[in-house]
Amino acid sequence: MIVELGHFALVLAFLVALVQMILPMWGARIGDVRLMGVGAPAALAQFGLLIIAFSALMHAYVVSDFSVANVYANSHSTKPLIYRISGVWGNHEGSMLLWVLILALFGAAVAAFGTNLPETLRANVLAVQASIALAFLLFILLTSNPFERLDPVPADGRGLNPILQDPALAFHPPFLYAGYVGFSMAYSFAIAGLIEGRTDAAWARWVRPWTLAAWMFLTVGIAMGSWWAYYELGWGGWWFWDPVENASFMPWLAGTALLHSAVVMEKREALKVWTILLAILTFSLSLMGAFLVRSGVLSSVHAFAVDPKRGVFILAIMLLFIGGGLMLYAARAPSLRQGGLFAPLSREGGLVLNNVLLTTATGTVLVGTLYPLALESINGAKISVGAPYFNATFVPLMVPLLLALPFGPLLGWKRGDVAAAMQRLMIAGLLAIVAAVVALAIVQRGPWLAPFAIALGVWVVAGALSELAFRVKAGNADRAEVFRRLRHLPRSVYGTAIAHAGVGVMVIGIAATSAWQSETILTMRPGQTVQIAGYDVAFTGVAPAEGPNYREVIGLMQVSRGGSRITELSPSKRQYNAPPQATSEAGILNALAGDLYVVLGDEAGDGAWSVRLYFNPLVRLIWIGAVIMFIGGACSLSDRRLRVGAPRRARRRLPAAAPAE
Amino acid sequence: MLLWFGLAVLTAVVVAVLLRPLLADGAVDSSSGEARDPAASTAVYRDQLTEIGAERARGLIGATEAEAARVEIARRLLAAADSPKGTATPSALRDVRALALGLAACLPVLAIVVYLALGAPGQPGQPFAARAPEGTGTSVEQLVTRVEERLRAHPEDGRGWDVIAPVYLRLGRYHEAANAFQQALRLVGESTDRLAGLAEAHMLANDGMVSEAARKAYERLRVLAPDRMEPRFWLAVAAEQDGRLAEAEKVYAQLLTEANAAAPWRPTVGERWRAVRRKQNLPTEPVPDGTAESKPTSIAPALSREDVRTIQQLPEEERRRMIEGMVAGLDQRLSENGRDLEGWQRLIRAYTVLGRREDALAALARARAALSEETQAQDTLTSLARSLGLSS
């Protein structure tokens, strides 16, 4: 009964989305408050119904109700509880349900917390959001219904792809989707703004928290996926420029550009037309990501769902929303008035540079991702565009971006003083040079560009901190004054500095691990010892072991350094029963200086095994940097100014505002 | 019944939520709505004005720029405050009540229609734990589930694997069948049935491709049970899939010649033989036929089909002489040029069939000497010797 209740709730959610799309927009058009008023309760009802549907499916997974086809195909009665729950979104149907659930969550958040928005804007935003939900709900009901039943009921389920039975991957999709889908808010605001002809500074401020939240989730989601690939796929790498990774990376790049251009629009009402376009494009890239992953046009480690019918359906959704959005943009953009003026060397100018570089980078990733697909569809040739292409195109775009990054926050609005900014960044520059020299002295070997990449990372971190130091007049004022200023600094300033420092930390990690990764591949016999990065790794043999649904061979590796034993690593090769699949579990020792990463290869006969060993210096900084960026985003999100405009607060401030100026 | 009650409640709640704003007293809502719109944006601009002051104090913006920005924002503030008020009226749509009624009527009907088209309201949920308790179920699936549970608890129970493996095979769960046969072979020991099952499971799991694992199992089976036809047949299929058509054809022909007419697999093998012949652009008639004679002709592959036919028509004594003559010829040829593994195999087999064990052993020794540099050939000879019972 619970299953059927969930199914019915899904159908109702579809109808509510229909109502939510039509009535509020109609009300905004003819100016009827009551029709517009339907938007908020409808958004909340839609969210509630999808919660019911999602919970019903999750319940079916938890109690292993194999009368549901989706549970039968993706679960098993003996699977641990956590993977029974994560199995809900570990498959195509369930993940689409999660997608619309998050879509509805953002809609409901606008309904509940968007009370500071003008009535018509809110009605239009909710209507556009509902139209997206409607398309995806139709897609679910027609092609990917998770509530399909089986009769007779099979005795037990088919199990979950073993590569997905992993904690990091259990929580990777919800974060990633929160990011992808969160950008739908930016899209809905852009379309609503275009419909109303209202795109001003206030609009930019209203759209900001949603974009920021989506960006934060996407940052963590991508980092989680990369972390999973690092330790599960056993190649010692953390980013593969795989099309599915690119599909999540492109919205991130565009979303980062959007965050920055929205600041300009909010503060100075400049870059309006551009910001609107960026908002549409960012969500378009999210939709394209959904299409690439869900249609199965790619066959990579991520492509689990393969069904051409679904692919065509998602393609239609994608074309409708991208095409519709761009057409509306083309019709309305010429009528948008440009706002404030600024000199090229100013905060605004810096943000324009940021946007130019980030969107160009998005373009290069887009070409690298779609070119192989286009080529394959034209002449059937299967090529893969890998790291060499992206190193040659993407990296050169990032270098000037990172060089310029610390200047941005130090430049004044409208007209900046570059000489003064340079003076303030003197210490950061010195630190960067010292870092390069130290790096060179420590490693004493190529590649020679690597120390400069490290210096770049240090430059960004130190630059972000110098901005804070300058703001609080550290060194120029007494201690009490510095603390007073620290307390009164807006949280968005902290957010900027923290997020930028996170970028720098990540750059250091990337530079170090790409340049100085050491790798040894050899055949080892029991008793043999190999040296890597100062560690002595002794292979003592292999031992078979038996897991709940797999058999494995564990390699025993004694790790010591300078004669003293540090730890024992046990990389293993697993063979799962159902579905039959081999996976390799890497043995990883994480130390301050980097990771020792050991993978057991194939048996080479006579008790010898091929073994791959890597030392990845400072690789953890990549994910630590991502977490720092997330914290920076959260800090900025809590800034007071994003909550301004709620009617009650505004009225309270009214008398105070006038004399202050 | 409970389900329908639940659905009705859910629908009623949703309809009530949607209708509330439509049927609400318009006057209250409209006044707040009118006042709200400009208030929202003016609040933002007022806040920006204060922010300029703070930014100026922190040195983020120059004095003249701050002034200019203030003017910009003030202009926007005035524009927002002057924006036409009261465009939103509660009476813009006269018959909101009719709309509300229509919604209240259509929504439940549509929901039920769509749901009945997609859902299965009559089917109860069947949580795993609440399903038929242990021991009462008798269907194959339930038995399989019970054996599976036992095997999870005792994965070293070879008999369990042995029991469940053929069941998996019949149920079409080929990967699991292959694993179960493998376990049974490891735990219980080698047997021809288990090997045959393992090979078949591997093959079916790969959509009929004779995979490496299947090939290994069949090769072992051929050694253990040289008289069984299926390892020979499937290894020939493997050869065919590898593109070694002539080799496959030879084995098919051999099988057809040996088979008696009633053998149920005869048409299948004949079909494969014809297919292989077609691929080599050779005539597909007549199909090799050994039914006229019951005598096995193990050296047949050495001969062309016409020769075989001729030989089979000869009287017993003459045929034996002719075969011995041919064997002697082969022996002679191999003495002159020993680098012919296939020839040696044929010769050893022929001597064994003719009951000349001493000669067979001698041929084996000569073959080993002649092919001493080729380790693979040595392996082949060793397994041949084992299968013919020539190894000591």
Taking residues A493-513, report their average pLDDT: 92
What 3-state DSSP class applies to B125? coil
For residue range A545-555, list pLDDT tens digits in order. 877 767 788 88
Is residue A144 within 8 Å of residue A317, measured between CB atoms?
Answer: no
pLDDT band at A304 (very low <50, low <70, confident <90, very high): very low
> Percent of chain B beyond pLDDT 70?
81
Of B14, B126, B139, the CB nearest to A67: B126
pLDDT reading at A377 higher than 90? no
Please compute Rg for chain A using Cα positions: 27
What is the model's pLDDT at position A385? 77
Residue A496, Cβ neighbours under 10 Å: how many?
A: 20
What is the model's pLDDT at position A642? 62
What is the model's pLDDT at position A157? 78
| Domain shared by A361 and A426, yes or no | no
pLDDT band at A508 (very low <50, low <70, confident <90, very high): very high
Please give the residue that has the higher pLDDT: either A211 or B72: A211
| Domain shared by A211 and A304, yes or no | yes
| Domain shared by A379 and A450, yes or no | no
List of domains in chain B: 2-84+96-118 (no CATH), 304-392 (1.25.40)
Average pLDDT for chain A: 85
Contact at CB, A268 and B69, closer than 8 angstroms: yes
DSSP letters of A20-41?
HHHHHHHHHHHT-HHHHHTHHH
For residue range B189-207, list pLDDT tens digits in order. 888 888 888 988 888 887 7
pLDDT reading at A13 higher than 50? yes
What is the model's pLDDT at position B304? 55
Sign of the CA dihedral running A510, A511, A514, A519: negative
pLDDT reading at B135 higher than 70? no
pLDDT band at B83 (very low <50, low <70, confident <90, very high): low
Identify whether A654 is part of a domain. no
pLDDT reading at B84 higher than 60? no
> Percent of chain A beyond pLDDT 70?
92
Is residue A651 within 8 Å of residue A628, measured between CB atoms?
Answer: no
What is the model's pLDDT at position B109? 93
Please compute Rg for chain B using Cα positions: 43
Report residue A448 as tokens.
């020679």
| Domain shared by A37 and A120, yes or no | yes
Q: Which of B75, B118, B173 best tests the A interface by mutation, with the highest count of A CBs <10 A?
A: B118
> Domain span at residue A43?
1-160
CA distance A468 to chain B (A): 11
Taking residues A249-268, report their average pLDDT: 90
| Domain shared by A511 and A572, yes or no | no
What is the model's pLDDT at position A359? 93
Contact at CB, B65 and A413, closer than 8 angstroms: yes
Q: Give the strand pairing for A564-569 and A550-561.
A: antiparallel
pLDDT reading at B364 higher than 60? yes
What is the model's pLDDT at position B352? 82
Identify whether A119 is part of a domain. yes
Identify whether A133 is part of a domain. yes
Provide the CA A548 distance to its chain's centre, in angstroms.
Answer: 33
Provide, for chain A, the percentages of residues in helix, strand and coil under a 3-state DSSP scheme, each rounded to the nearest 5. 65, 10, 20
Is residue A157 within 8 Å of residue A66, measured between CB atoms?
Answer: yes
Q: Distances in Å between the alpha carbon of B334 and those of A89, B13, B262?
A: 68, 94, 38
Q: For B127, which residue in chain A has the nearest alpha carbon? A: A65
Q: Which of B10, B97, B126 best tests the A interface by mutation, with the highest count of A CBs <10 A?
A: B126
Residue with tokens 């012919």: B340
Q: Which of B4, B9, B20, B47 best tests the A interface by mutation, with the highest count of A CBs <10 A?
A: B47
pLDDT reading at B324 higher than 90? no
Taking residues A528-553, report their average pLDDT: 84
Q: What does the alpha-carbon distance between residue A500 and residue A467 come to, in Å, rounded to a whole number?
A: 11
What is the model's pLDDT at position A15? 95
ipTM: 0.80
Q: For A469, which residue in chain B has the nearest alpha carbon? A: B58
Interchain CB contacts (distance < 8 Å): A and B: 243
pLDDT band at B93 (very low <50, low <70, confident <90, very high): low
| Domain shared by A496 and A552, yes or no | no
Using the Cβ of A138 and the Cβ atoms of chain B, whether some distance falls under 8 Å is answered with: no
Out of A284-288, A378-382, A566-570, which region has the weakest mean confidence (pLDDT)?
Answer: A378-382
pLDDT band at A301 (very low <50, low <70, confident <90, very high): very low
Q: Which of B3, B32, B58 best tests the A interface by mutation, with the highest count of A CBs <10 A?
A: B58
Residues 6+ positions from A235 with CB-CB distance below 8 Å = none
What is the model's pLDDT at position A447? 76
Q: Of A352, A361, A450, A363, give the one whose Cα is nearest residue A397.
A: A361
Q: What does the alpha-carbon distance between residue A133 and residue A112 come to, in Å, rounded to a whole number?
A: 18
Is residue A436 within 8 Å of residue A449, measured between CB atoms?
Answer: no
How does DSSP classify residue A605?
A: E
Which amino acid, one-letter code, is at A81?
L
CA distance A170 to chain B (A): 23
| Domain shared by A219 and A317, yes or no | yes
Out of A297-301, B182-186, B299-303, which region has the weakest mean confidence (pLDDT)?
Answer: B299-303
Chain B residues with CB under 8 Å of A64 CB are: 127-129
Q: What does the alpha-carbon distance between residue B362 and residue B359 come to, in Å, rounded to a whole number?
A: 5
Q: Distances in Å between the alpha carbon of B340 and those of B344, B352, B368, B386?
A: 6, 19, 11, 20
Q: Of A96, A85, A107, A109, give the one whose Cα is nearest residue A164.
A: A85
Out of A155-164, A261-270, B271-280, which region has the weakest mean confidence (pLDDT)?
Answer: A155-164
Chain B residues with CB under 8 Å of A41 CB are: 17-18, 20-21
Using the Cβ of A67 and the Cβ atoms of chain B, whether some distance falls under 8 Å is answered with: yes
Q: For B39, which residue in chain A has the nearest alpha carbon? A: A647
Taking residues A327-331, report their average pLDDT: 91
Taking residues A334-348, report their average pLDDT: 75
Please give the residue that has the higher pLDDT: either B366 or B391: B366
Instruction: Return the ∠ at Cα A427 (arms to A425 and A430), rounded to 5°.
Output: 110
| Domain shared by A51 and A122, yes or no | yes
| Domain shared by A202 and A102, yes or no | no
Q: Distances in Å between the alpha carbon of A5 and those of A52, A72, A300, A458?
A: 8, 19, 36, 56
Strand partners, A596: A589, A615
Identify whether A111 is part of a domain. yes
What is the model's pLDDT at position B139? 67
Q: Of A605, A574, A603, A568, give the one whose Cα is nearest residue A587.
A: A568
Taking residues A219-224, report their average pLDDT: 92
Of B3, B49, B176, the CB nearest to A578: B176
Using the Cβ of A13 and the Cβ atoms of chain B, whether some distance falls under 8 Å is answered with: no
Q: For B6, which residue in chain A has the nearest alpha carbon? A: A5
| Domain shared by A113 and A84, yes or no | yes
Contact at CB, A32 and B115, closer than 8 angstroms: no
Contact at CB, B175 and A37, closer than 8 angstroms: no
Using the Cβ of A547 and the Cβ atoms of chain B, whether some distance falls under 8 Å is answered with: no
Taking residues B52-58, report their average pLDDT: 75
Average pLDDT for chain B: 77
Please give the residue that has the higher pLDDT: either A215 or B256: A215
Contact at CB, A151 and B120, closer than 8 angstroms: yes
Report residue A509 as tokens.
């990690």
Taking residues A442-454, report their average pLDDT: 80
Q: What does the alpha-carbon distance between residue A401 and residue A355 come to, in Å, rounded to a whole number?
A: 10
Report residue A539 as tokens.
């292979």
Is residue B247 within 8 Å of residue B238, measured between CB atoms?
Answer: no
pLDDT reading at B25 higher than 50? yes
Of B72, B123, B144, the CB nearest to A67: B123
| pTM for this model (two decimals) | 0.74
Report residue A231 as tokens.
């330790």
Residue B110, Cβ neighbours under 10 Å: how many?
A: 15
Strand partners, A589: A596
Q: For A548, which residue in chain B has the nearest alpha carbon? A: B152
Q: Which of A397, A413, A439 is the last residue of a domain?
A: A397
Chain A residues with CB under 8 Å of B107 CB are: 15, 19
Q: What does the alpha-carbon distance between residue A314 and residue A249 come to, in Å, rounded to a whole number?
A: 20
What is the model's pLDDT at position A403? 92
Q: Which of A160, A189, A221 is the last residue of a domain?
A: A160
Q: What does the alpha-carbon distance between residue A428 and residue A116 come to, in Å, rounded to a whole number?
A: 41
Of B42, B96, B144, the CB nearest to A34: B96
Report residue A189 as tokens.
């605001």
pLDDT reading at B92 higher than 70? no
What is the model's pLDDT at position A578? 58
| Domain shared by A371 and A224, yes or no | yes
Q: Of A626-630, B217-221, B355-359, give the range with the top mean pLDDT.
A: A626-630
Q: Is the peptide bond before B286 cis (omega within 30 degrees of 0)?
A: yes
What is the model's pLDDT at position A369? 87
Q: Which of B60, B99, B206 best tests the A interface by mutation, with the highest count of A CBs <10 A?
A: B60
CA distance A512 to chain B (A): 35
Q: Which of A33, A50, A55, A143 best tests the B interface by mutation, with the highest count of B CBs <10 A?
A: A33
Please give the residue that has the higher pLDDT: either B152 or B215: B215
Q: For B49, which residue in chain A has the nearest alpha carbon? A: A661
Contact at CB, A1 and B2, closer than 8 angstroms: yes
Contact at CB, A645 and B93, closer than 8 angstroms: no
Identify whether A231 is part of a domain. yes
> Percent of chain A beyond pLDDT 90?
34
| Domain shared by A51 and A125, yes or no | yes
For residue range A15-31, list pLDDT tens digits in order. 999 999 999 998 888 88
Chain B residues with CB under 8 Å of A40 CB are: 21
Of A41, A145, A489, the CB nearest to B21: A41
Identify whether A266 is part of a domain. yes
pLDDT reading at B300 higher than 60? no
Chain A residues with CB under 8 Å of B1 CB are: none
What 3-state DSSP class applies to B180? helix
Number of domains present in the structure of chain A: 4
Of B87, B103, B175, the CB nearest to A19: B103
Report residue B308 as tokens.
């075989």
Q: B337: buried, middle or exposed (CB in 10 Å: 19+, 13-18, 0-12)?
A: exposed
